[in-house]
Amino acid sequence: MTRKKITVIGAGNVGATLAQRLAEKNLGDIVLLDIIPDMPQGKALDIAETGPLCYFDSAITGTNGYEETKDSNIVIITSGVARKPGMSRDDLLTVNVGIVKGVAESVAKTSPNAILILVSNPLDAMTYVAYKISKFPKHRVIGMAGVLDAARFSAFISMELGVSVENIHAFVLGGHGDTMVPSTRYTTVAGVSIEELIPPERLKDIVVRTRNGGAEIVNLLKTGSAFYAPSAAVVEMVEAILKDKRKILPCAAFCEGEYGIQNLFVGVPVILGSNGIEDIFEINLNEEEATALHKSANEVELLCNKVDTLLGH
């Protein structure tokens, strides 16, 4: 049986850590691409040399061109400028639109049947760029945000309650940023809503910390942004797709009326399987949750309007 081919574009901290994690899971052969000469080749060789120690047989190729990425099953775009302290994700918009546009054009030519997963920030807007430029169908363009945000939410709840993260199912909606909507009503610990387990004021603090999860790490690192948790979040998505798990995960998906949102990529629960987004999983939101989600969608729409101007659409 032919192994699946996974391309990771951008061999920085997120991309290189992701390539290592994908290899260790034996999910397929991996191509690591970056524009910096020799850098992806060096990192690919270093990862390949962990194979005998981590017991994987995935082939790892480092490259500066798209020829080696040809006919990939999944392409993950991590390339772009990372946030620095004091920068918002939106500050990255102009520079990263240009980068992601170029990448999406090349991927559409070399891997026209691939599923695209976007990691570059600002996430929802970059997913929109890739969708517009690649002209791929909406089910094959997915933004990684909710899986990471839900993991952060779960981690903070675990710290608060002193329980295993395996007992926690966190639920997050909306754009990847300050307006994201961690749902306390649908987030559970062993099936019990966290609203019954954590006092309201404390819960509010945890929600705020989740919203600012990326910025907290940027401020601590000072020279870059998070990469261990983001790369792990992508692996969760890739595994669900390649193993056709039909797993329900929060991802940035193109909504056409779902949750009352039109023609935008916003974080919603989706069913991930071999075709990419098999379906958007709709749940009933109360008035407060719906209002917060639409506020988040409005913020995303403002960014996408700027994207359309930058792209000349």
User: Per residue in 32-62, pLDDT tens?
Assistant: 999 999 999 999 999 999 999 999 999 999 9
CATH number at residue 137: 3.40.50.720
For the question of whether the overall pTM of this predicted structure is more than 0.85, the answer is yes
| Bridge partners (DSSP) listed for residue 249 | 270
- Please tell me the predicted confidence (pLDDT) of residue 95: 87
Stretch 224-240: mean pLDDT, rounded?
96
Residues 139 and 14 in one domain: yes
Judge if 296 and 284 occupy the same domain.
yes
Question: Across all residues in the chain, what is the average pLDDT?
Answer: 95
Contact partners, residue 36, CB within 8 Å, separation at least 6:
11, 64
DSSP 3-state of 302: helix
Contact assessment for residue 99 and residue 80, using Cβ atoms and an 8 Å cutoff: yes
Give the domain extent around 105.
5-143
The amino acid occupying position 222 is K
pLDDT of residue 193: 96
Same domain, 171 and 277: yes
Question: What pLDDT, on a 0 to 100 scale, did the predictor assign at position 312?
Answer: 87
Judge if 63 and 135 occupy the same domain: yes
Q: Report helix, strand or coil for 70.
A: coil
User: Which of 88, 115, 143 is at the close of a domain?
Assistant: 143
Nearest alpha-carbon partner for 223 in 21, 87, 51:
87
Which two structure tokens, joined as six digits, stand for 287?
Answer: 């008035």
Q: What is the pLDDT at residue 87?
A: 67
What phi and psi values does residue 67 have, to the nearest 5 degrees? -55, -40
pLDDT for 83 beyond 80: no
Which of 115, 143, 171 delimits the end of a domain? 143
User: Residue 90's pLDDT is what?
Assistant: 67
> Can you tell me the mean pLDDT for 6-21?
97
72-86, 192-206, 227-241: which range is least confident on average?
72-86
Query: Is residue 19 located within the same domain as residue 90?
Result: yes
Strand locations in the chain (E):
5-9, 29-33, 60-63, 74-77, 115-118, 141-143, 168-169, 172-173, 181-182, 188-189, 192-193, 247-256, 262-273, 276-280
Give the CA diameter of the chain. 55
Number of structural domains found in the chain: 2
Task: Indicate which CATH number applies to the domain containing 284.
Answer: 3.90.110.10
Residues, the chain, total?
313
For the record, the structure tokens of 113 come out as: 């049947």
Q: For residue 108, what pLDDT band results from cuts at 50, 70 and 90? A: very high
Residue 163 sits in the same domain as residue 138 = no
Q: Give the lowest-confidence range in 46-55, 92-101, 162-171.
A: 92-101
Question: pLDDT-derived band of residue 2, with 50, 70 and 90 as boundaries?
Answer: confident
- Are 63 and 164 found together in one domain? no
Tokens of 93: 């918009």
Instruction: Tell me the three state secondary structure of residue 239.
Output: helix
d(CA 234, CA 232): 5
Query: Which has more pLDDT, 180 or 22?
Result: 22
Q: pLDDT (tens digit, 9 = 90+) per residue, 114-143?
A: 999 999 988 999 999 999 999 999 999 999
Pair of tokens at residue 33: 């691409």
- One domain for residues 154 and 111: no
Residue ending a domain, choose from 76, 110, 143? 143
Residues whose CB is less than 8 angstroms from the CB of residue 217 and which lie 6 or more positions away in sequence, other chains included: 225, 226
Q: Please, which pLDDT band fits residue 86 given cuts at 50, 70 and 90?
A: confident
- Residues marked as catalytic: 176
Render pLDDT for 212-229 as a digit per residue (tens, 0 to 9).
999 999 999 988 889 999
